[in-house]
Amino acid sequence: MNEIQDRDASFEERLLAELRAVVEERAAMPEAADVERSSVYDRVSLHTPPAGGRRLAPRLALGGAAVAAVAAGVLAVSSGTGDTSSAFAVEPQGDGTVRVEISSLSDAAGLEKALAEAGVKADVSYTAAGMACREPRWHATAAVPGEGQPAQPAPDDQAARKGKTTGSIRQTDSGVVFSITPNGIGPDDTLVVTASPGPEGAGDVVGVQIAEGAVSPCDPVPAGDLPPGAVTQQSGGPGAPHTAGPQQGFSQSGVPGVSGVPATGAGQSSN
Amino acid sequence: METQQLERIGTDPEAFEAFYRENVEGVQRFVARRVGERERAADLTAEIFLAAITSTRTYDPRLGSPQAWLYGIARVTVAAEGRSRGRERAGIERVRGSTLISEDDIAAMDARIDAERRSRELYAAMDRLAEGERAVLELVVLDGLSVSEAAAAAGVRPVTARVRLHRARRKLRAELEGPRTSARPEAIKARRTKPQPIEEEGS
């Protein structure tokens, strides 16, 4: 930290000098800035633990332009302390699969790197609450880009057909877990992981997809008719109806490629 | 501020300075409406701008002005600070606002904090509201944002914001009309710039 204590300057000017130093540092080290961006961003957004310790039922599936929508799960943020060193775990298994666990939405770049080291080309994007990546991010052959039918949650079937993933996203006490088979992912394919914190820290939405071909960077846009808060309030506990209430229609005209249906592939069932 | 310029504040010191000068007073007032201690207010002001520097990718011009975006960041930052106070604060503390305060600043900071006393009482009274309702209400009532700006800052649809605002007002009014409050319900009405159409659920 710079020690700027100009006696004549006001607090505002001194703060500006400090912050300018941060910006200059970032300008000089774009890569470091990226890492920092995700971790700081996480600090801001993730430290919003559940107001009442609510557990959140799985609530949406990402699909649409996805070639293979594996599943979507909900990452319950149980703690406000974001230790980036344990934000994720990438563990190659004996059977050739790679087990991925995401325990907090921080260090997207680190997860990307860890996946690359495990032989999986990945694109990991964490967006702010209420935001989603603009779709489509890649040209899918099996889906209509943009408009059209959201993929219905038959993620396990799709995944099995593609042979690229094993199982589905499961929710554990510490986060979400899924497995992938690097050999099943083609040289031009990219594992696309997107996640955004739920509002009020009630739970985070994690989507895992496999894209064929180039993937454009995540361009965060408002999740539009997919207000996570609206759904959150519907799922106050086991047995809470997903389809009742004022937000019933929210999924009908939402973000292209994102459907608001509960993810059947996720581990926690609420009905 | 132009969108392109906002995108640059994370890496362009000049763009950041312009953004900072444009918003530092607003951010400090925002904080003072919520926090009554000088050091905390200074720390939070620094944190909010740091978060803005590192989150420019989350700004979407179609959702609202850069100010609404910044208010969204500010709100989350203040809320997170409130919850994590007393616990070990995770994350960076590379710029600690409180270390930058000098004797000369104290009067100005205290004046700002004093001026917002009533707002803080209101803010405290909002504690019992559901978080989503409170978010919208505080942005509209405390910070004077329009409903659509508040929706953008809170990350919800305008219609959702309107419903929540209506519920929050109703609850808070009932709360404030109770015997134990010091803030009066007129304060809420007075800050309401114009009538907002209320859309009840199901309609």
* pLDDT digit string, tens, across residues B78-136: 888 766 554 444 444 556 777 788 888 888 888 888 888 888 888 888 877 888 898 89
Mean local confidence (pLDDT), A177-195? 75
Q: Looking at the complex, report in whole angstroms how far the Cα of residue B82 sits from the nearest Cα belonging to chain A.
A: 10
CATH (residue range B1-117): 1.10.1740.10
CB pair distance less than 8 Å for B80 and A23:
no
Q: Which residues of B touch A24 (CB under 8 A)?
A: 13
B10, B95, B163 member nearest A33 (Cβ): B10
* pLDDT digit string, tens, across residues A152-176: 444 444 433 343 444 456 666 667 7
pLDDT attached to residue A20: 92
Chain A residue with minimum CA distance to B128: A51
Q: Which residues of B touch A47 (CB under 8 A)?
A: 80, 83-84, 90-91
* pLDDT digit string, tens, across residues B131-177: 889 889 989 988 888 999 899 888 889 999 999 999 998 888 877 77
Mean local confidence (pLDDT), B177-200? 49
CB pair distance less than 8 Å for A11 and B50:
no
Domain with CATH 1.10.1740.10 in chain B: 1-117
Q: Which residues of A touch B24 (CB under 8 A)?
A: 12, 15-16
CATH (residue range B122-179): 1.10.10.10
Cα B187 from chain centroid (whole Å): 18
Q: Looking at the complex, report in whole angstroms how far the Cα of residue A260 sits from the nearest Cα belonging to chain B.
A: 15
A16, A36, A82 member nearest B54 (Cβ): A36
Q: Looking at the complex, report in whole angstroms how far the Cα of residue A100 sits from the nearest Cα belonging to chain B.
A: 24
pLDDT attached to residue A75: 41
Cα A164 from chain centroid (whole Å): 20
pTM for the model stands at 0.44
CB pair distance less than 8 Å for B20 and A16:
yes
* pLDDT digit string, tens, across residues B21-37: 999 999 999 999 998 88
Mean local confidence (pLDDT), A192-218? 70
Domain with CATH 1.10.10.10 in chain B: 122-179
CA-based R_g, chain A, Å: 19
